[in-house]
C-alpha cells in the first residue's frame, strides 16, 4: 500500500485527491521539491527545504508547517512507505479558493508528500550519454517568473520537453532571451573545455540546482577548475564534454547536441569522475530516516 501525506493525514493512492478549486491545480499556484533518498538518507534535505521555504517566501505563500514539522512529515512519510531508496515529491499549493486567481481567497496552503521508487536512466545511459537538442522555447525571463522559484508552473519546461520528444532527443537545452544557454528542461548544464568546467550563473535563468551546487563543491574539493560564466550553443558544440545535473538525473553525460557529437560521443573522463564522486556522498550528506 502506498501512503501519501495530504494535509496532515496519510491517505492511500485512491484517497489522495485535491479539490478542483485548489489553486495549484487551477493556476499552477504553488511550489515543489524533488528529493532523493539513498539507503535511508534524505540527500541534501536541508538544502531542499531551504529552497522550498525560499520559493514560498518569494511567492508570498505561507507554508502551514514549520521547517521542523515539514522534516518530521518527510521522515514519517518515508517510514510509512518503508522506503530506503527512492524519490520524494513534496508539493505545497496555495490551496482551495474560489475561481478567481486572487491568492487572498485561499485561506490555507495544502501540503502533499509522495514517496516512490525511482528509475530514470539506465546505467548504460550514464556511459553512452544523452542525445539532446536546443529548442526555440526560451527560459522564463527572471522578471516575469523567476526560474529560481521551483514553482508548479512547469509549462515552460513541458513545452521544451515536447520539442525534445519531437526531435527524438532525451533532453533539451534552453537559451534565455539574450541567447545564452541556461539549463535543460529539468536539469542544470555544465560544459568542459581543455580541462576547465563551466556552468551558467543562475541569474541568466536557471534553477539553483542542488546537484549543481554539489558538483561545484566537489570540483572545489578535488581541484577541478570550475567557472560560473555565460556561454552560448557554440561553446556547447565545441566542448570536450557536456553533462547535466539534477536530483533525478544525478550527473548524466550528453553525447550529442543538435547533431554535433560531443568529444568522443560518450561520457568523458571528467563527467564520469564527478558522477563517481557524487555517488560517494549521496548516502552521507543529509537526514537519516531510520537512525
Ligand atoms: C528546471 C530545473 N532545473 C534544474 C533542476 C535540477 O535541480 P536539482 O539538482 O536541485 O534537482 C531541476 C530539478 N528537476 C527535477 C527534480 C526532481 C525530479 C525531476 C523530474 O524530472 O522528475 C526534475 C529543474 O526542474
Q: What is the ipTM of this complex?
A: 0.95
Asked if 104 contacts 143 with a C-beta cutoff of 8 angstroms, the reply is: no
Which grid coordinates belong to 188? 542544470
Asked if 85 contacts 71 with a C-beta cutoff of 8 angstroms, the reply is: no
Asked if 83 contacts 115 with a C-beta cutoff of 8 angstroms, the reply is: yes
Residues in contact with ligand 1 by the CB-under-6-Å rule are 34, 157, 183, 186-188, 207, 209-212, 245-248
Can you tell me which residue has the cell 501512503?
Answer: 3
Atom 23 of ligand 1, nearest CA residue: 186
| Nearest one of 82, 76, 149 to 113, comparing CA atoms | 76
Q: How far is the CA of 156 from the centre of ligand 1 (A)?
A: 13
Is 193 annotated in the active site?
A: no
| Nearest one of 211, 168, 261 to 36, comparing CA atoms | 211
Q: Which of 108, 150, 193, 284 is catalytic?
A: 150
What is the chain's pLDDT, residue by residue, as a tens digit (291 residues)?
Answer: 999 999 999 999 999 999 999 999 999 999 999 999 999 999 999 999 999 999 999 999 999 999 999 999 999 999 999 999 999 999 999 999 999 999 999 999 999 999 999 878 899 999 999 999 999 999 999 999 999 999 999 999 999 999 999 999 999 999 999 999 999 999 999 999 999 999 999 999 999 999 999 999 999 999 999 999 999 999 999 999 999 999 999 999 999 999 999 999 999 999 999 999 999 999 999 999 988
Q: How far is the CA of 188 from the centre of ligand 1 (A)?
A: 8
Which grid coordinates belong to 45? 534535505
> How far out from the chain centre does Cα 139 lie?
15
Q: How far is the CA of 145 from the centre of ligand 1 (A)?
A: 17
Amino acid at each position: 500500500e502506498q501512503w501519501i501525506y495530504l494535509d496532515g493525514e496519510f491517505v492511500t493512492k485512491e484517497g489522495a485527491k485535491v479539490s478542483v478549486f485548489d489553486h495549484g491545480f487551477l493556476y499552477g499556484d504553488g511550489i515543489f521539491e524533488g528529493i532523493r533518498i539513498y539507503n535511508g538518507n534524505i540527500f541534501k534535505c536541508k538544502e531542499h527545504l531551504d529552497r522550498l521555504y525560499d520559493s514560498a517566501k518569494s511567492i508570498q505563500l505561507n507554508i502551514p508547517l514549520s521547517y521542523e514539522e515539514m522534516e518530521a512529515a518527510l521522515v514519517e512519510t518515508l517510514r510509512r512507505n518503508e522506503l530506503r531508496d527512492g524519490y520524494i515529491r513534496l508539493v505545497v499549493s496555495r490551496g482551495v479558493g474560489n475561481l478567481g486567481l486572487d491568492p487572498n481567497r485561499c485561506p490555507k496552503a495544502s501540503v502533499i508528500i509522495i514517496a516512490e521508487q525511482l528509475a530514470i536512466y539506465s546505467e548504460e545511459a550514464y556511459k553512452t550519454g544523452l542525445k539532446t537538442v536546443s529548442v526555440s522555447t526560451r527560459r522564463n525571463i527572471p522578471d516575469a517568473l523567476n526560474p529560481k522559484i521551483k514553482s508548479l508552473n512547469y509549462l515552460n519546461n513541458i513545452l521544451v520537453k515536447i520539442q525534445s520528444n519531437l526531435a527524438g532527443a532525451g533532453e533539451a537545452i534552453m537559451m534565455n532571451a539574450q541567447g545564452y544557454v541556461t539549463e535543460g528542461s529539468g536539469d542544470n548544464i555544465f560544459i568542459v573545455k581543455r580541462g576547465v568546467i563551466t556552468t551558467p550563473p543562475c541569474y541568466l535563468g536557471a534553477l539553483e540546482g542542488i546537484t549543481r551546487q554539489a558538483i561545484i563543491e566537489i570540483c572545489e574539493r578535488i581541484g577541478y577548475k570550475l567557472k560560473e560564466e555565460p556561454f552560448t550553443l557554440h561553446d556547447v558544440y565545441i566542448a570536450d564534454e557536456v553533462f547535466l545535473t539534477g536530483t533525478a538525473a544525478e550527473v548524466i553525460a550528453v553525447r550529442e547536441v543538435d547533431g554535433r557529437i560531443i568529444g568522443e560521443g560518450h561520457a568523458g573522463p571528467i563527467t564520469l569522475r564527478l558522477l563517481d564522486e557524487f555517488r560517494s556522498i549521496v548516502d552521507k550528506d543529509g537526514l537519516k530516516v531510520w537512525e
